[in-house]
Amino acid sequence: MPSSPSQLRTVEACASEDFSSDCDIPSIIEHTQKCLVLELENDTIRECGAAALAIIASKPDDVLRLAHRKLHTWPFRDVPICWRRLYEDASLWKAIALLRVQTCRRNPKGHAIDTVSRKRKRRGEQENPKGHSSSPAVERPSTTDDGINLPTIMAGDWVADIVKVLDMAIILTGAPSRKHLFNNLFNNLQSSLLHEVSKLDTLRGFPPSHLRRPKVRFPMQNYKALGSDMNFTALQEHLDASASPLILEGAISHWPACSAWKNPAHLMQHTLGGRRLVPVELGRSYTDEDWGQKIMTFAEFVHDYLINPMPKQTGYLAQHDLLTQIPGLLEDIQTPDYCFTTPPPATPELLHGQPTPPHLEEPLVNTWLGPGGTISPLHTDPYHNILCQVVGHKYIRLYAPSETPKLYSRGVDEAGVSMENTSRVDVSIAMELAGRSAAVGCDDEISHENARNDFEERFPLFKDARYIEAVLGPGDSLYIPLGWWHYVESLSTSCSVSFWWN
Amino acid sequence: MSELKTRTAGHRQTANDGASKPTSMLCAGLNAHSQLQAGTQADVRKFTPVEDISTPQKGADVLFAGWSTTVFSSGNKIWTQGFQPISSTLGGNAAHEDIQTRSVIGDHDGFLALLTTSGDLYTVFSSSDAQSATLQLMTTESSPSIALIAFAGTGRIALTFKQAPNGNLCHIAEFNTLDRFLAWYRDPSDSDCYPDKHHMLPGRPAQLLANTASFILLLENGEVYSWGDPRHQSLGRAINGEGTTKADVPGIVEALGGLKITKIASGGWMSAAFSEDGALYLWGAAGAPGHDRSIRCLREAGAGEVALVELLASAHDEPLDVIDVAIGDAHVAVATSDGRLFVVGDNKDGQLGLDSAEDFIEDWTEARGLSDVQRVVCGSNSTYVFVH
């Protein structure tokens, strides 16, 4: 296995050589700039003030830092949109500046380097064709030029530099007005990587799992009409009749993703050689004290957490809209027709303290990619869910809303945030104590007994809560009704796609 | 952010003590609008003299240092360097007496308003072609009588009303936006324009400042109050639990209880205070939100705690007495009684003046090459130092 993310790639035809046939940088610069200087209708960016707009093109780093500061001045939902717009546009100007550096470097006539602000210099800056060093080589810590904490990237990797700037803008602002420009830039950068070869190309799949499968004692209802899959009408009838959980075995086995995503190389290729940034949850479970989130390159996630046989901790790319970030992956999946049925509406009992969400015109799609052993603690969601298993296996346990009194919801926390949709019970520990899980339990009989008594004392009703369970495999889907408690544990490297609808 | 010019007895030196030794001004930091050094947009990474075009008798003073503009004053003349073009004389050309500035407010776009010790409010008016701006007096006989004003990064305004000479009740009014404050100032009797919040405290206000999202008030008896957004430990006091005051209501900073504080400073998500015996206290976010570097001495302080900052000339000395402190968006500058300057925090724009390429300095560092530092003023990304 490659020993570091930087060894994942050997750039065969170095991106710094003749790429003009693959990636027309002057045109992208011109196109992006033309769009940026055009005034948009009702654009709130003017509210940021003339001083910032006066230097956004010439000093995008300084404007980025002002916008970043403003994005953190209020709780995110209160941030005036103008600051998201300013950060978005300043990022695009910065991307243009980084692209300009590449045009200058490549021009054999050796036109003078743009006056690049000293803050825009990159690690391992090479000499330009004229032989002048384009900036003093100063070692900088692993931050963007605006000082924001970011993952380490390959020295001298200009594509990664630009991707970082663009992805951070999307993460921080949601790209309110310039999505098309971001996508255009990503597509063009993709073409400059055509010759890149990844060591991951030799990997045929993810490492095998050593986690033992729990025995399913209380199976869920499984729909398997003879020779056919459940269709839209049949599910609608089921929803009208009982709206209970239902395994739809093999329902998505026709997705190209079921074979394509088994190979890390496919996902790496679609994430610009793994350069795209993704949010990763670190830690055993989001109810643990030491749990956190980190933004890292997709390559770092794959290398350090997905294919690493001895990761420092669990890393889970969870609840992330990867398919909007990487539209190229959309052709590997297909939104199930089921998401266009009309399910029963939400009631306060089913919402468990969460506000009624608005009606969704389109289903909310999330991707869940992680190693074996990821845990989503017992909780409910305010939407109906079709959970599609693409790669690997997941153990899922469901408790009906009627069992809620036995599930010890967390209630409202000190900051006033409702955690009523999350249980205090750690189901993986409950399974261990009941002797049903293969996870490492207590060697000592006595301490196991003590742990069991502790658990009994804290959660006496839990053992009487009725549940159903299943192991989902590649190609399977599971309908999880709104308000049903669910606990999910991956049994191997797993990739799922969930569709929330109402 | 607001800048306060104090004229209280506790403050040892003012730049307008021009009658004694002449002071000169040095600056360092973000210069993208040429607000520190004309003719260039490059950051000024070491302390460099400011061009002094003041009158020979009086030194120039920095009224406000913002992200894009620095505002200077000398006597009644006000002028700017940077993005916003202002050239104005308070009280018109006929003014003979010096008008003393009490509070100044502005933001990343520039200077917004100025309040004098006599309670006159001047606001900035731009010409129709935005090529120049002047200060215009807003105060009329029916205007509210205000003493101090501050402007937070969130756009909120807080002010204190003038008190009778023997009055001991401090009235504070808050407005959600500058526009709402100005509407009330023009017509305080209109019920639609009433303040969005009103507080009362026992005491006489000496200084009122704001940072990104909170306000901090120093009373003449040395007590310090804070209120606003409690995130990042910015209030320096507990907001939950028995005997505490909620975050959005002025509450006393108990960690400074018993101390007689001489002066406060505030910026970003930090605030500072030093006592009459020269001890300096700092609280708030060790690292700016969303950034990974942090100021070491603040890392251990929890919510409701303040850090005692001890600055030494050398390892074996006693801590130095502090005579001035100023805070920018994520950096702090301190002047000590022996004329040294110590700095810490963000140096991305060179605002620490250390001539260093480092983006951030975690530990207090003396800015060498400066002697007889009298006073320090910070802009969001810059530092101004007054030396003899």
- The per-residue DSSP string of A89-138 comes to HHHHHHHHHHHHHHHHHH-TT-PPPP---GGG--TTPPBPTTS-BSS---
Per-residue pLDDT band for A242 (boundaries 50, 70, 90) equals confident
Q: If DSSP codes are grouped into helix, strand and coil, which group holds residue A350?
A: helix
| Closest A-chain CA to B83 | A51
Contact status, residue A369 vs residue A188, Cβ threshold 8 Å? no
The reported pLDDT for the residue numbered A246 is: 93
Q: Would an 8 Å CB–CB cutoff place B247 in contact with chain A?
A: no
User: From the CA of B84, how many Å to the nearest CA of chain A?
Assistant: 8
A49 contacts in B (CB within 8 Å)?
Answer: 107-109
User: From the CA of A149, how many Å to the nearest CA of chain B?
Assistant: 5
Question: What's the rounded Cα separation, in Å, for the pair A63 and A60?
Answer: 5
A66 contacts in B (CB within 8 Å)?
Answer: 67, 108
The reported pLDDT for the residue numbered A355 is: 86
Judged by CB atoms closer than 8 Å, whether chains meet at B42 and A118 is answered as yes
Q: Would an 8 Å CB–CB cutoff place B212 in contact with chain A?
A: yes
The reported pLDDT for the residue numbered A415 is: 65
The reported pLDDT for the residue numbered A12 is: 30
A119 contacts in B (CB within 8 Å)?
Answer: 348
| Closest A-chain CA to B84 | A51
Judged by CB atoms closer than 8 Å, whether chains meet at B33 and A54 is answered as yes
Q: Which parts of A269-423 are beta strand (E)?
A: 277-282, 292-297, 315-320, 364-370, 375-379, 384-391, 394-399
Judged by CB atoms closer than 8 Å, whether chains meet at A49 and B240 is answered as no
Per-residue pLDDT band for A7 (boundaries 50, 70, 90) equals very low
Tell me which residue of A342, A413, A287 sits closest to B240, measured CA to CA: A413
From the list B83, B107, B291, the residue facing A149 with the nearest CB is B291
- Say if residue A91's pLDDT is above 90: yes
Show which of residues 14-73 on chain A sit within 8 Å of chain B, judged by CB atoms.
Answer: 49-52, 54-55, 58-59, 62, 65-66, 68-73
A140 contacts in B (CB within 8 Å)?
Answer: 359
- Say if residue A385's pLDDT is above 70: yes
Tell me which residue of B278, B135, B156, B143 sits closest to B208, measured CA to CA: B156
Average pLDDT of A399-414? 90
Judged by CB atoms closer than 8 Å, whether chains meet at B348 and A71 is answered as no
pLDDT digits (tens, 9 = 90+) for A163-197: 999 999 999 999 999 999 999 999 999 888 877 76
Question: What's the rounded Cα separation, in Å, for the pair B328 and A446?
Answer: 59
Per-residue pLDDT band for A106 (boundaries 50, 70, 90) equals low
B357 contacts in A (CB within 8 Å)?
Answer: 138
Q: Which parts of A382-455 are beta strand (E)?
A: 384-391, 394-399
Name residue A410's beta-bridge partners. none
Q: If DSSP codes are grouped into helix, strand and coil, which group holds residue B227?
A: strand
Q: Would an 8 Å CB–CB cutoff place B69 in contact with chain A?
A: yes
- Say if residue A200's pLDDT is above 90: no
B108 contacts in A (CB within 8 Å)?
Answer: 49, 51-52, 66
User: From the CA of B376, how many Å to the nearest CA of chain A?
Assistant: 23
pLDDT digits (tens, 9 = 90+) for B123-138: 998 877 777 888 999 9
Question: What's the rounded Cα separation, in Å, for the pair A217 and A395?
Answer: 12
User: From the CA of B291, how many Å to the nearest CA of chain A?
Assistant: 5
> CA angle, corner A125, sides to A157 and B47, nearest 5?
125
The reported pLDDT for the residue numbered B94 is: 57
Q: Would an 8 Å CB–CB cutoff place B349 in contact with chain A?
A: yes
| Closest A-chain CA to B330 | A69
From the list B41, B292, B329, the residue facing A59 with the nearest CB is B41
| Closest B-chain CA to A50 | B109
B290 contacts in A (CB within 8 Å)?
Answer: 68, 71-72, 148-149
HSE value, Cβ hemisphere, 13 Å, CA-based, for B348: 26
Largest alpha-carbon pair distance within chain B?
Answer: 62
Question: What's the rounded Cα separation, in Å, for the pair B149 and A422?
Answer: 46
Cα A53 to the center of its chain, rounded Å: 32
Judged by CB atoms closer than 8 Å, whether chains meet at A49 and B108 is answered as yes
Structure tokens of A327?
Answer: 């539209």
Judged by CB atoms closer than 8 Å, whether chains meet at B289 and A72 is answered as yes
Chain B interface test: which of A56, A63, A69 (most B C-beta within 10 Å): A69
The reported pLDDT for the residue numbered A154 is: 44
B109 contacts in A (CB within 8 Å)?
Answer: 49-52
pTM: 0.84
pLDDT digits (tens, 9 = 90+) for B73-99: 988 889 999 999 998 888 765 556 778
Judged by CB atoms closer than 8 Å, whether chains meet at A49 and B107 is answered as yes
From the list B32, B84, B329, the residue facing A69 with the nearest CB is B329
Judged by CB atoms closer than 8 Å, whether chains meet at B154 and A147 is answered as no
A67 contacts in B (CB within 8 Å)?
Answer: none
B240 contacts in A (CB within 8 Å)?
Answer: 414
A71 contacts in B (CB within 8 Å)?
Answer: 290
Choice between A13 and B164, residue whose per-residue pLDDT is larger: B164
Q: Would an 8 Å CB–CB cutoff place B359 in contact with chain A?
A: yes
Q: So what's the ipTM on this one? A: 0.92
Rounded to the nearest 10 degrees, the angle between the axes of helix A81-106 and helix A25-37 is 150
Question: What's the rounded Cα separation, in Å, for the pair A146 and B9?
Answer: 42
Mean pLDDT is lowest, of A35-44, A104-113, B148-157, B365-374, for A104-113
**CA–CA distances in Å: residue A219 to residues A222, A244, A363, B5:** 8, 13, 28, 74
Radius of gyration of chain A (CA): 25
Q: Would an 8 Å CB–CB cutoff place B233 in contact with chain A?
A: no
Judged by CB atoms closer than 8 Å, whether chains meet at B153 and A50 is answered as no
The reported pLDDT for the residue numbered A198 is: 64
Question: What's the rounded Cα separation, in Å, for the pair B187 and A165?
Answer: 48
Cα A410 to the center of its chain, rounded Å: 26
The reported pLDDT for the residue numbered B304 is: 86
Rounded to the nearest 10 degrees, the angle between the axes of helix A60-71 and helix A158-173 is 30
- Say if residue A230's pLDDT is above 80: no
B176 contacts in A (CB within 8 Å)?
Answer: none
User: From the CA of B288, how many Å to the nearest CA of chain A?
Assistant: 8
The rounded mean pLDDT for chain A is 82
| Closest A-chain CA to B213 | A73
Sheet (strand B133-137) strand order: B2-4, B101-107, B110-116, B121-126, B133-137
Tell me which residue of A496, A471, A179 sits closest to A324, measured CA to CA: A179
CB atoms within 10 A of CB B162: 15
Contact status, residue B83 vs residue B65, Cβ threshold 8 Å? no
CB atoms within 10 A of CB A433: 21
HSE value, Cβ hemisphere, 13 Å, CA-based, for A257: 27
Q: What is the DSSP letter of B300?
A: S
B284 contacts in A (CB within 8 Å)?
Answer: none
Q: Tokens 């967390």 — which residue?
A: A410
pLDDT digits (tens, 9 = 90+) for A127-142: 333 333 333 332 233 3
Q: Which residues of chain B have pLDDT under 70?
A: 1-21, 52-58, 92-96
HSE value, Cβ hemisphere, 13 Å, CA-based, for B315: 0
Are β-strands B341-346 and B360-366 bridged in parallel, bridged antiparallel, or unpaired?
antiparallel
Structure tokens of A178?
Answer: 């310039």
From the list A50, A68, A141, the residue facing B109 with the nearest CB is A50
Tell me which residue of B210, B211, B119 sits closest to B158, measured CA to CA: B210
- Ramachandran angles phi, psi of B345, nearest 5°: 110, -150
- Say if residue A228's pLDDT is above 60: no
Please tell me which of A127-131, A212-216, A430-434, B68-72 the model is most confident about, judged by mean pLDDT: B68-72
Chain B interface test: which of A45, A47, A63, A73 (most B C-beta within 10 Å): A73
- Say if residue A377's pLDDT is above 60: yes
- The per-residue DSSP string of B61-123 comes to EEEEE-SSEEEEEETTEEEEEESS-BEEETT-TT--SPPPEEEEEEETTEEEEEEETT--EEE
Contact status, residue A304 vs residue A360, Cβ threshold 8 Å? no
Show which of residues 388-417 on chain A sit within 8 Å of chain B, judged by CB atoms.
Answer: 414
Choice between B8 and A222, residue whose per-residue pLDDT is larger: A222
A365 backbone φψ class: left, alpha, beta (φ>0; ψ -120 to 50): beta
User: Positive or negative, the Cα torsion across A442, A444, A447, A449?
Assistant: positive
- Say if residue A152's pLDDT is above 90: no
Are β-strands A222-223 and A246-248 bridged in parallel, bridged antiparallel, or unpaired?
parallel
B110 contacts in A (CB within 8 Å)?
Answer: 51
User: From the CA of A122, how many Å to the nearest CA of chain B?
Assistant: 14
Question: What's the rounded Cα separation, in Å, for the pair B355 and B46?
Answer: 4
User: From the CA of A209, how many Å to the nearest CA of chain B?
Assistant: 36
Judged by CB atoms closer than 8 Å, whether chains meet at B43 and A118 is answered as yes
Instruction: Tally A–B CB contacts below 8 A.
Output: 70
User: Positive or negative, the Cα torsion across A305, A306, A308, A313?
Assistant: positive
**CA–CA distances in Å: residue B38 to residues A118, A234, A303, B82, B126:** 18, 75, 50, 8, 22
Q: Would an 8 Å CB–CB cutoff place B110 in contact with chain A?
A: yes
Residue burial B218-238, b: 16+ Cβ < 10 Å; e: rest: bbbebbbbbbbbbbbbbbbbb
Choice between A346 and B150, residue whose per-residue pLDDT is larger: B150
Question: What's the rounded Cα separation, in Å, for the pair B30 and B378?
Answer: 11
